């Protein structure tokens, strides 16, 4: 059975945010509330400052705490290893947001992060929270999978662009934007990455590129201590920690 | 038919009932106005980290007070401690009132409360503590309603079916422990995480239950101790007062040990303890809502003073709300995974709507309680 996973090479990532922008366009996200974000960290004080960054999609955990805590099973895991939200079952209790160690879930009804409030500029029809000019075609929307424009009063998250990857040919090991056979099925953030720092493929296939990279370059997962077992791996050169801690940044 | 008509004729709403109902209607209308005109932005929650705001604090406060009252009521009803009989009926009325007040707040906060009613039981997510909590609260509501019916039919505490009281006690116990687990199970939130939390919730729930009983017992007697029966007065100055002192002492013990351990801890996220002890609210809750009532309830000479008891109970109720606010809000102030551009500690203060929802809960609970007391005394007459 396919188990989709992602590898992000931090030695190649330039922090350009093309992934963030592509995700926002593909999934109709409000500015500042993108499912895929790049977090920036700085350590030290001027002039001895180190800036680092971490692209952060949903980790699509193998053992997701958000799925376990959802009282209505609105959050669930598909057979091919992706965590999705059924917007028709979500009650908006936000326990999944509380229980996600990676902070990758969003409730779109909060105060706007940037002004003007685009929900007022492009008001939504029906229970859609807004009606952006760059939305995906209506026929691709699927409320049962949390794909499309988010309705009011529910939680949303990165779907690994499930509307694309779920249509990929069966048994394919990797979804590579350079391969004309699979290009259309590649998640938006992977497809647009200028330095090709992202790879997407089947973690259950020993011949997949993602598995080779994880093995060859010692891929690591974030917050292993939680037992969530992310399906997103980072290549960090093997030495430095992937993200600096609060205490190492002198903010603790 | 004739009996119902007679009862309706004999039912005279007290000024307390009318006042509470009017205030509830005003608060409710204003809350709905804010929710309709402003939408969810009227809440001060954010996507950065404070996902559960003041309404959830208030909901849990009311719910756990209700379960505490039910635990106190189940002692005479289930265990058969006959000297506690005067406690039982009032505790059941108060438990119903607190439950309705708390659930009303939750329903006004949740975007899809009705969906929760059907989606939770049919999807059977047994791994979620919230699933069990919702299920138990549903059963608890039914048992409380049955008990109210039994009391309303003129049965005394000794005549109420014991099985009903046992089930009530077990459900109250389960809800309280599960409510603690909702927070205590989250390993990556070190401010909350800990296996002791369900026990802490149980003790605090019991403490709140006793405090509410003491306060409302005096309140319905016009705050005049002489109006109380001799048995009730003896109970308040004796076993109930001692139970209150014990619960307050254990609560303080947990607060202090958690604080000291938290301040010593190196874990990321525990830096919020330094913020917590720098807040006046922490010290007000600790001293005003803990130490002062402890002295009042622990010393026999003070415990026998009705006014001091009333003040002590009121302070416990207030301190518990402050304590729960600090626990739930401060546990979310360290933003998870937001990088350098998010502040080290988030800022949160309840919005106007969030305050109004608290008052909706308070006035609704008082209205229900006043109505139940009036109805009960009418039936007795």
Structure confidence by residue, pLDDT tens digits, B262-271? 999 988 888 8
What tens digit of pLDDT does each residue of A152-197 get?
999 999 999 999 999 999 999 999 999 999 999 999 999 999 999 9
Q: State the nearest Cα–Cα gap between A146 and chain B, in angstroms.
A: 16
Give Cα separations from B371 to B15, B17, B96 (angstroms). 11, 6, 11
Interface predicted TM-score of the whole assembly (ipTM), two decimals? 0.92
Closest alpha carbon to B165 in B73, B97, B243, B238: B73
User: Domain extents for chain B?
Assistant: 14-38+55-372
Q: For B182-225, write each residue's pLDDT tens digit.
A: 999 998 899 999 999 999 999 999 999 999 999 999 888 888 88
Identify from B52, B109, B337 which residue to disrupt to test chain A contact, counting A C-beta atoms within 10 A and taking the largest count.
B337
Contact call for B337 and A103, based on CB within 8 A: yes
Q: By CB neighbour count within 10 A (0-12 exposed, 13-18 middle, 19+ buried), where does A50 fall?
A: exposed
Which chain B residue shows the shortest CA-CA distance from A154? B111
B128:A68 CB<8 A: yes
**Cross-chain Cβ contact A70/B186 below 8 Å:** no
Q: Which of B70, B252, B78, B220 is nearest to B144 (CA)?
A: B70
* Cα gap B284→B282, rounded to integer Å: 6
Q: Alpha-carbon distance B112 to A90, whole Å?
A: 8
- CA B188 and chain centroid, separation: 27
Strand partners, A200: A6
* Subunit contact A72:B115, Cβ cutoff 8 A: yes
Q: Rounded CA gap, A205 and A199, in Å?
A: 14
Q: What is the pLDDT of residue B351?
A: 97
Residue A123 C-alpha, separation from nearest chain B C-alpha, in angstroms: 13
β-pair partners for A105: A157
How confident is the model over A2-26, as pLDDT tens digits? 999 999 999 999 999 999 999 999 9
At B123 the three-state DSSP class reads: helix
Q: From B123, which residue of chain A is nearest by alpha-carbon distance?
A: A72
Cβ neighbours of A65 in B, within 8 Å:
186
Q: Please tell me whether residue B40 adopts helix, strand or coil conformation.
A: helix
Closest-CA residue of B relative to A94 is B51
More confident residue, B84 or A187: A187
Domains in chain A, start-ordered, CATH in brackets?
A: 4-235 (3.30.70.20)
Chain B residue with Cα closest to A223 = B188
How far is the C-alpha of B130 from the C-alpha of B76, rounded, in Å?
30
Does the pLDDT value for residue A250 go beyond 60? no
CATH of B14-38+55-372, one of 1.10.8.100, 1.20.1630.10, 3.40.50.2300, 3.30.1240.10: 1.20.1630.10
- What DSSP string describes B60-122? HHHHHHHHHHHHHHHIIIII--GGGHHHHHHHHHHHHHHHHHHHHHHHHH-S-HHHHHHHHHH
Cβ atoms B334, B269 nearer than 8 A: yes
State mean pLDDT over B36-52: 93
Q: CA B278 to CA B271: how far, in whole Å?
A: 12
């Amino acid at each position: 059975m396919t188990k989709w996973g992602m590898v992000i090479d931090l030695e190649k990532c330039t922090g350009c945010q093309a992934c963030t922008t592509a995700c926002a366009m593909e999934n109709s996200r409000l500015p500042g509330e993108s499912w895929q974000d790049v977090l920036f960290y700085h350590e030290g004080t001027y002039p001895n400052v180190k800036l680092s960054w971490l692209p952060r999609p949903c980790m699509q955990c193998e053992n997701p705490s958000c799925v376990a805590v959802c009282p209505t099973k609105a959050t669930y895991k598909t057979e091919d290893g992706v965590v999705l939200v059924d917007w028709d079952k979500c009650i908006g209790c936000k326990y999944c947001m509380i229980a996600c160690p990676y902070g990758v879930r969003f409730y779109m009804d909060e105060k706007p992060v940037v002004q003007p409030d685009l929900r007022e500029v492009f008001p939504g029809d029906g229970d859609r929270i807004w009606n952006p000019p760059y939305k995906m075609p209506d026929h691709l929307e699927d409320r049962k999978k949390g794909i499309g424009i988010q309705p009011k009063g529910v939680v949303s998250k990165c779907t690994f662009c499930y509307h694309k990857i779920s249509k990929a040919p069966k048994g394919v090991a990797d979804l590579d934007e350079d391969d004309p056979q699979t290009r259309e099925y590649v998640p938006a953030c992977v497809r647009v990455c200028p330095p090709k720092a992202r790879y997407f493929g089947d973690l259950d296939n020993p011949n997949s590129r993602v598995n080779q990279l994880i093995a060859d370059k010692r891929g690591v997962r974030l917050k292993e201590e939680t037992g969530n077992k992310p399906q997103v791996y980072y290549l960090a050169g093997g030495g430095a920690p992937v993200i600096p801690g609060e205490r190492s940044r002198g903010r603790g | 038919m004739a009996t119902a008509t007679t009862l309706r004729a004999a039912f005279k709403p007290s000024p307390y009932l009318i006042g509470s109902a009017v205030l509830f209607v005003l608060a409710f209308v204003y809350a709905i106005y804010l929710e309709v005109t402003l939408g969810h932005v009227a809440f001060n929650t954010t996507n950065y980290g404070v996902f559960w705001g003041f309404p959830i604090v208030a909901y849990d406060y009311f719910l756990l007070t209700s379960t505490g009252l039910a635990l106190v009521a189940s002692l005479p009803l289930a265990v058969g401690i006959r000297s506690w009989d005067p406690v039982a009926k009032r505790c059941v009325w108060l438990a119903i009132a607190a439950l309705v007040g708390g659930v009303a707040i939750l329903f006004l906060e949740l975007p899809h409360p009705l969906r929760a009613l059907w989606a939770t039981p049919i999807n059977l997510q047994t791994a979620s503590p919230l699933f069990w909590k919702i299920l138990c609260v549903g059963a608890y509501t039914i048992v409380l309603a049955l008990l109210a019916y039994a009391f309303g039919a003129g049965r005394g505490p000794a005549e109420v079916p014991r099985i009903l009281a046992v089930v009530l006690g077990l459900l109250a116990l389960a809800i309280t422990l599960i409510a603690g687990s909702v927070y205590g199970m989250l390993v990556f939130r070190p401010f909350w995480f800990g296996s002791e939390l369900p026990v802490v919730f149980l003790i605090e729930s019991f403490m709140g239950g006793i405090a509410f009983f003491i306060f409302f017992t005096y309140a319905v007697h016009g705050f005049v101790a002489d109006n109380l029966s001799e048995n009730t007065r003896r109970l308040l100055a004796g076993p109930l007062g001692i139970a209150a002192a014990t619960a307050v002492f254990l609560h303080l013990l947990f607060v202090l040990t958690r604080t000291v351990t938290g301040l010593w801890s190196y874990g990321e996220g525990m830096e919020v303890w330094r913020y917590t002890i720098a807040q006046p609210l922490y010290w007000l809750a600790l001293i005003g809502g803990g130490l002062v009532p402890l002295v009042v309830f622990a010393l026999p000479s003070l415990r026998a003073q009705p006014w001091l008891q009333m003040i002590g109970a009121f302070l416990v109720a207030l301190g518990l709300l402050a304590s729960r606010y600090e626990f739930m809000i401060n546990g979310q102030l360290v933003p998870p995974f937001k990088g350098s551009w998010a502040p080290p500690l988030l800022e949160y203060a309840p919005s106007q709507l969030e305050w109004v929802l608290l008052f909706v809960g308070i006035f609704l609970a008082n209205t229900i309680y006043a109505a139940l007391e009036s109805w009960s005394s009418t039936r007795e007459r």
